[in-house]
Structure 1
Amino acid sequence: MSQEILINLTPRETRVALVEHGVLQEIHLERARRRGMVGNIYLGEVRRVLPGMQAAFIDTGLERTAFLHVSDLQRGLGERAPPIDELIREGQSLLVQVIKDPIGNKGARVTTQITVPSRYLVLTPRSAGVGVSARIEDDAERARLRTVAHALGDEGQEGAGLIFRTAAEGASEQALRADRQFLVRLWESVRRRAEQAQPGHLVHEDLPLLLRALRDLATQDVERVRVDSREGYQQLRDFCHDLLPHLTERIEHYSGERPIFDLYGVEDEIQRALARRVELKSGGHLVIDQTEAMTTIDVNTGAFVGYRNVDETIFKTNLEAAQAIARQLRLRNLGGIIIVDFIDMADPEHRRQVMRALEKALERDHAKTQIGAVSSLGLVEMTRKRSRESLEQLTCEPCPTCGGRGTVKSAETVAYEIFREILREVQQFEAQRVIVLAAPGVVEVLLDEESTSLAQLEAFIDRPIELQVESLYTPDQFDVIPV
């Protein structure tokens, strides 16, 4: 699969685009003011233990205390977790790692099950054992990697485990050994800093996005990495020289006149990824709504009537939607609970094929996904691991007019509220006249569709009502001033 990584680097922001066959699949963004924390290791202090929730709040020195669940406390493989108040106590120091960034009003989620990643391997310094990425499907290769793991097990860190990442497929034993030695040295450095640190301090910070993108995204399928900064280009070359020598020659400095994200229409795709509606080539469309609790995706045929019968039209639309949904989840970095409402299909074979298409399209997703069975209401329930904020959460804020609801009161509704407010004001205050300040659309309704009602109200209160347009008012903002 032909892939390319485009990196747009400015002093305040780094943006990374993963493009497959000329189509944007993933966008990663990091701003200097709001750097992600996933992977960072802190020496924390237990502030509160909550036996009822089987959780604790940990002070890591961040703005909000971090959340630690009993399932994220270090324990032996297969052991059942005892009550959390038997494992930790208030005031205790704990070395913890962030596994989920603060999102909304929630603090970071942390674990004591520390992992230290590199290009090919993940070191688990506190738990022994060997794991191989599920995306490495070749049985012979999986067996080879496990053999290599046993050969490496006697070197360096005792009692530590290894996980072979997808990038380890085909890597030589020499490269894997060098990777493990690097991780052992890094963990020893982290451990020494933790011994000298005070609670509430950062002990180890994960790589910035510029370098993390190369570590996590640059698989064998990536043909080249283009960066539009000379300084960033040199940083990438230096990083590759030490850790990823095989990638060094694929890194290019982009010096074209067009902005790098104009290549392949990446900038336009980002704008479309922030829209609620996603058009399908067939004429159908998706409607994606992201809430705090879950994300819902509704599939519609729209104007698509291109096949011989209704069942075939619905089937083809759902098949196309399955591909589009998998791409949108990656592109928007949507996580948590996701509910998909495909168009109802009467044929069980059609349902099976659509579900298989969705599963296959999600295989390329680096985030772990789980798909449940179709519910009795015909909904597909799934989860996608969320560790960082979504594209919308990173780049947008709630609308100051609608408060994030996506709707505002109609001009007609506001007009009737104004009528009620006028009656309330003239009953409370002596006034010769009433001045109404409102948005242009509301004043237009009062002078047009509701002009008769306005005249009747004037007669009823026996006072003139003057209307004044306030162009800076929001659609549902108004003032009634008795004078």
Structure 2
Amino acid sequence: MVKELIVDSSPDTGTTIALLQDKQLVELNKEQVNNNYAVGDIYLGRIKKIMPGLNAAFVDVGYSKDAFLHYLDLGPQVQSLIKLTKLVKNGSYKDKLLNSLKLEKDINKAGKISEILSRNMLLPVQIAKEPISTKGPRLSSDLSIAGRFVVLVPFSDVVSISKKIKSNTERNRLKKIVEGIKPQNFGVIIRTVSEGKGVAELEKDLRDLITKWESFSKRLGSTEPSKKILGEMDRTSTILRDILTDEFSHIYINDQIIYDETRSYIQDISPDLEKIVKLYKHKDPIFEHFGVEKQIKAAFGKIVNLQGGAYLVIEHTEALHVVDVNSGNRTANKENQEDNALQVNKEAAKEIARQLRLRDMGGIVVIDFIDMHKPVNRKELHDYLKECMGNDRAKHTILPPSKFGLVQITRQRVRPEMTIVTNEKCPACGGTGEIRASIVLMDDIESNLSYVLNEQNEKQITLCVHPYVSAFIKKGFISRRMKWFFQYGKWITIKSIASYYMNEFHFLNAKEEEIKL
């Protein structure tokens, strides 16, 4: 599998990052301009309101709406975090790490938030979900700092390993390495990409995270309430940190600053892949050059067509997403109707797995597959769908098909869903559904022709029109164009452009530049 990353940066729309697998678009990430609430950012929150009924609190982190912090997101060592914050704020704790901090007892899992937090209390919190729709950010005070190979977890001594690393020998090797280099009162989560890595690589990654924690400790004392203490990396670097492997063949970037930052970051984490980062310098927009724009327009509509003639209908509501699978013009005899349904469903399952990643659809997703009567086929579809979603980095759960043929999926949602407008406004009517009467078209052309020749003193002009209008202007020996020649003493060049709508026309000067009317 060949992977490519295409990065399109614009000062107006921000940075858009497209991930391609074998030239097919599978992920689209957008980093908005001035997005101050990215997942992983740590703020010094101020508790604004305690909600005993919800067992939660609303926290001021500088967003227009207060952020939400539930009791279950406090983390078992929140008392130690509160203690550290108080000590640092009053200047009595100088240690950059946690060696001299006596940890508090873990909080009761079934406790009340009013027993832990109080109004106006200061508490470092981490963005767990970006603001979505009308909701503010979702927070967690169970802090963690993610690296490429490991995740640093303060106020813990536990070393845990990704379940995707199956070999017991490798798990034991990684655990021994990390236990020998981690600092006191810090836990570590060993990520899947750590498999097969040496001591030097793991130690360097862990040292970088410790440096970030030291920066956090230093800034905590001087940071004002509701301000950011420690920021996550930019979106491009975050994606590369999480997914960069030897399978990547190219990374194309059209912005010099992002190019330099990305190249420097890759040189730091994986020097042998530095050569795949390339600066895009062509005149064509980068997404059009690599065929990404066309794939975006084809994939983000309400209806998504499949190669075999089937199609998906994707609907979004506030509560959930609904996907309907239709066989379309695919024909089937009664004898192979079941096999045909399975084939269509498997083709749809593959595209649905791609659509979930591409649109970053989260929450509850309900899929109405074509009915199948054989239990073995329903199980095969369920297994195939799980296989297709194996590369999805978001946490998800897939339930088996119900007796009605419905499959329910829950998928982690940490940022707003990616939405792309695929319909374009009609250039003829401007979206009103009405156009100027065609009977007055020639009056409009002749009126503007008189203005261009008499008022603008253009010596040589070209009139660009729809082919039907061009044929009408040239029709007959004493044509409209001949009459214009007799009237103005100048020969008007007529150019047919099939992409024009019927009433569209433009004038060009001798340099082939459009004359603004």
Do the aligned partners of 1:322 and 1:358 also contact (CA within 8 Å) in 2?
A: yes
Give 2:263's aligned amino acid.
R
Select the residue among 235, 238, 246 that pairs with 2:264.
238
* Residue of structure 2 in register with 1:203 after alignment: 229
Select the residue among 188, 205, 228 that pairs with 1:179.
205
Select the residue among 276, 282, 292 that pairs with 2:308.
282
Question: In structure 2, what is the Cα distance between the partners aligned to 1:304 and 1:312?
Answer: 12
Do the aligned partners of 2:37 and 2:137 also contact (CA within 8 Å) in 1?
A: no
* Residue of structure 1 in register with 2:322 after alignment: 296
* Residue of structure 2 in register with 1:109 after alignment: 138
* Residue of structure 2 in register with 1:70 after alignment: 71
CA separation of 1:82 and 1:352: change in aligned 2, threshold 3 A:
same
Question: In structure 2, what is the Cα distance between the partners aligned to 1:386 and 1:30?
Answer: 16
* Residue of structure 2 in register with 1:228 after alignment: 254
* Residue of structure 1 in register with 2:43 after alignment: 42
CA separation of 1:440 and 1:259: change in aligned 2, threshold 3 A:
closer
Give 2:39's aligned amino acid.
V
* Residue of structure 2 in register with 1:5 after alignment: 5
The C-alpha deviation readout for 1:314-366, integer Å capped at 9, x for no partner, is: 11100111111100000111001111111111010110000000000011111
Is residue 125 of structure 1 aligned with residue 154 of structure 2? yes
Following superposition, the deviation at residue 165 of structure 1 comes to: 2.1
* Residue of structure 2 in register with 1:337 after alignment: 364
Do the aligned partners of 2:297 and 2:422 also contact (CA within 8 Å) in 1?
A: no
* Residue of structure 2 in register with 1:248 after alignment: 274
Select the residue among 345, 351, 359 that pairs with 2:378.
351
Following superposition, the deviation at residue 264 of structure 1 comes to: 4.5
Describe the SS at the equivalent of 1:223: strand
Question: In structure 2, what is the Cα distance between the partners aligned to 1:364 and 1:397?
Answer: 26
Do the aligned partners of 2:342 and 2:377 also contact (CA within 8 Å) in 1?
A: yes
Give 1:241's aligned amino acid.
Q
Do the aligned partners of 1:68 and 1:110 also contact (CA within 8 Å) in 2?
A: yes
* Residue of structure 2 in register with 1:17 after alignment: 18
Do the aligned partners of 1:167 and 1:220 also contact (CA within 8 Å) in 2?
A: no
Give 2:380's aligned amino acid.
Q
Describe the SS at the equivalent of 2:328: coil
Do the aligned partners of 1:14 and 1:30 also contact (CA within 8 Å) in 2?
A: yes
Q: Which moved more, 1:190-199 or 1:324-333?
A: 190-199
Question: In structure 1, what is the Cα distance between the partners aligned to 2:162 and 2:315?
Answer: 32
* Residue of structure 2 in register with 1:391 after alignment: 418
Describe the SS at the equivalent of 2:218: helix
The C-alpha deviation readout for 1:28-51, integer Å capped at 9, x for no partner, is: 111214455211100001111111
Describe the SS at the equivalent of 2:7: strand
CA separation of 1:51 and 1:386: change in aligned 2, threshold 3 A:
same
Following superposition, the deviation at residue 268 of structure 1 comes to: 1.3
* Residue of structure 2 in register with 1:29 after alignment: 30
Do the aligned partners of 2:379 and 2:400 also contact (CA within 8 Å) in 1?
A: no
Describe the SS at the equivalent of 2:229: strand
Do the aligned partners of 1:55 and 1:84 also contact (CA within 8 Å) in 2?
A: yes
Give 2:7's aligned amino acid.
I
Give 1:303's aligned amino acid.
N
Percent of aligned pairs with the same residue? 33
Describe the SS at the equivalent of 2:263: helix
Question: In structure 2, what is the Cα distance between the partners aligned to 1:190 and 1:235?
Answer: 22
CA separation of 1:396 and 1:110: change in aligned 2, threshold 3 A:
farther
Following superposition, the deviation at residue 10 of structure 1 comes to: 2.4
Do the aligned partners of 1:294 and 1:337 also contact (CA within 8 Å) in 2?
A: yes
Normalising by structure 1, report the TM-score.
Answer: 0.78
Is residue 367 of structure 1 aligned with residue 398 of structure 2? no
Query: Which structure 1 segments of 5+ residues have no match?
Result: 400-437, 442-483
Following superposition, the deviation at residue 288 of structure 1 comes to: 0.9
Question: In structure 2, what is the Cα distance between the partners aligned to 1:263 and 1:35?
Answer: 31
Question: In structure 2, what is the Cα distance between the partners aligned to 1:176 and 1:266?
Answer: 36
Question: In structure 1, what is the Cα distance between the partners aligned to 2:422 and 2:376?
Answer: 43
Describe the SS at the equivalent of 1:338: strand
Question: In structure 1, what is the Cα distance between the partners aligned to 2:380 and 2:212?
Answer: 47
Following superposition, the deviation at residue 78 of structure 1 comes to: 9.7
Give 2:72's aligned amino acid.
S
Describe the SS at the equivalent of 1:391: coil
Q: Which moved more, 1:213-222 or 1:87-96?
A: 213-222
Give 1:133's aligned amino acid.
S
Following superposition, the deviation at residue 135 of structure 1 comes to: 3.3
Do the aligned partners of 2:161 and 2:191 also contact (CA within 8 Å) in 1?
A: yes
* Residue of structure 2 in register with 1:378 after alignment: 405
Q: For the aligned residues, what is the CA RMSD?
A: 2.4
* Residue of structure 1 in register with 2:88 after alignment: none
Question: In structure 2, what is the Cα distance between the partners aligned to 1:136 and 1:147?
Answer: 15
Question: In structure 2, what is the Cα distance between the partners aligned to 1:35 and 1:86?
Answer: 31
Whichever of the two has the greater Rg, that structure is 2
Describe the SS at the equivalent of 2:25: strand
Q: Which moved more, 1:140-149 or 1:77-86?
A: 77-86
Following superposition, the deviation at residue 141 of structure 1 comes to: 2.8
The C-alpha deviation readout for 1:125-163, integer Å capped at 9, x for no partner, is: 13332222333344433332222222223xx3x211111
Describe the SS at the equivalent of 2:313: strand
Following superposition, the deviation at residue 263 of structure 1 comes to: 4.5
Give 2:51's aligned amino acid.
L
Question: In structure 1, what is the Cα distance between the partners aligned to 2:228 and 2:301?
Answer: 37
* Residue of structure 2 in register with 1:148 after alignment: 177
The C-alpha deviation readout for 1:60-108, integer Å capped at 9, x for no partner, is: 1111100001110021579523111111111111100001000111000
Do the aligned partners of 1:274 and 1:391 also contact (CA within 8 Å) in 2?
A: no
Following superposition, the deviation at residue 214 of structure 1 comes to: 1.9
Question: In structure 1, what is the Cα distance between the partners aligned to 2:290 and 2:421?
Answer: 24
Q: Which moved more, 1:246-255 or 1:169-178?
A: 246-255
Describe the SS at the equivalent of 1:206: coil
* Residue of structure 2 in register with 1:269 after alignment: 295
* Equivalences, count: 399
Give 2:395's aligned amino acid.
K
Question: In structure 2, what is the Cα distance between the partners aligned to 1:285 and 1:362?
Answer: 19
Do the aligned partners of 2:72 and 2:109 also contact (CA within 8 Å) in 1?
A: no
The C-alpha deviation readout for 1:438-480, integer Å capped at 9, x for no partner, is: 9869xxxxxxxxxxxxxxxxxxxxxxxxxxxxxxxxxxxxxxx
Do the aligned partners of 1:273 and 1:332 also contact (CA within 8 Å) in 2?
A: no
Is residue 309 of structure 1 aligned with residue 310 of structure 2? no
Give 1:86's aligned amino acid.
E
Normalising by structure 2, report the TM-score.
Answer: 0.73
Question: In structure 2, what is the Cα distance between the partners aligned to 1:336 and 1:398?
Answer: 26
Following superposition, the deviation at residue 197 of structure 1 comes to: 1.6
